[in-house]
Structure 1
Amino acid sequence: MVRRVGPDMVQGIELAPLSPPSNLTAELVRRLAAEIRAGRLSPGDRLPTEQALMRQAGVSRTVVREAVSALRAEGMVTTRQGVGAFVADPAARGQVRIDPGEMRSVADVVQVIELRIAIESEAAGLAAERRDPSGMAAIQAAAQAFALAVESGDGAVLQDLAFHRAIFAATGNDFFPRFLEFLGPLLIPRQTIGQHLEEGAARLAYLRRVQDEHARITAAITAGHAAAARLAMRRHLAASRDRYAKLARHLAARDHQ
């Protein structure tokens, strides 16, 4: 059993500060997952607090929260509101999931988006057909939160994830949110391959396009137009697929030069 030595950490878990790699979230996920797989954190052990992880790894609160969310999606940790994150029992982890480690290229990400097109288009249609008031409110709030994050200069990864989760929850089918968790950090590709993407004004222009697409999806769902909601979601994800397919071709051409 691992001996606890304080409220913030467990003995043997002292992370060195992360140097700025291509993606801080992915690197923190990798390191924490390695601690769990090596048995230095046992099932039921509490992860270090947000403050401890921020201090040890030298990263922001957003990076820590994204990393914990990714680990939860992988079934490696569970979270308790107001208490913290705990290592999950391996026997309870889902057997069907897409491991981010399998995503070795941008082309792999494109394939995941193709899967999402099929599932999420139907989710948007069901959300429009069922129009649960609380579900509608959650979708609208998530779309607004994304817009505010974009205007503040944030990458809006968490807000983007929240928008898609709200739509899955609004289907009224509990299996849709469960499927979404299988995708984990792969749901928002720029979270895992951000080093290849545009920055500055180009990134802002892209996020504003996404904001407009979210608005169209939200409007169709709110109006109860299932066909329009499916089409709006399909167009949204198809645009993402085409963006990453273009990037994949660019990287492949560069590597062959």
Structure 2
Amino acid sequence: MSIRGSLRLSNNVCEDTFYDRPYIVIGAGSTLRFIRRPEEDINTFLMDYGRNFRMQDKRLLPLVYYLSKIRIIPPVFEWRLKENCEKVIVLSLTKTRLEGNALYISEKILQALQRGYSLMLEIWENYDGQNPELGPAILGEYYISETFLQNLQEALSILKSQVRTKGYIALTTEQSTYTACRLSSNCEHKPSYTDSINQLNEAYYSRLQEDLLMAVELIRNSKLDADYGVCFGG
């Protein structure tokens, strides 16, 4: 028999596992020999350092540039197609797909590569008022911590030295969806909404404001080509 992909019976792999469904039934006295050959995907195809690539269309040049950026060893490309060549990259009028030794790249992928690729960096930090055992949020540890600012500074330095395209940075901080829950000692019974919830949030954000502005200033002073802003999550 030939098995491709994951061993499973249905599309619900969790159900197959939980109900101990057998994948293979082997008769008594049988002898089996398994040879596992991992199926190649597009990533391993493009990261293969042992073989050259062959292309039939100069419009694939943006892909050459992209691969030269992401591979440790730049790829070698040949433009003339030969019979039985090992790796072929072909321009596809439909979707991107891998068929045997041929990778079909859609025109939409090429259009995206021509515009360059960008990096989205999200830096997120919670606060310990989230845990009722530590007391209500107004008694918890308000922070954007020094570690947060140090990590941001380090990330900006790396981006400045290694990324040549525009970046996007979101400074994300937490506001629990269940603010009222933290006003109770056990969260079993949520108190009715009162104005104290607004006061709680106002106190939290007023304590964060100074540190958030410091983080924004770090980004601004880094001279990084990036759009940046502050996000408040629930």
Query: TM-score range, shorter-chain basis?
Result: under 0.3
Which structure has more helix as a fraction of its residues? 1
> Which structure exhibits the higher relative contact order, with contacts defined as CA atoms closer than 8 Å and separated by 6 or more residues?
1
Structure showing greater radius of gyration is 2
TM-score, normalised relative to structure 1: 0.22
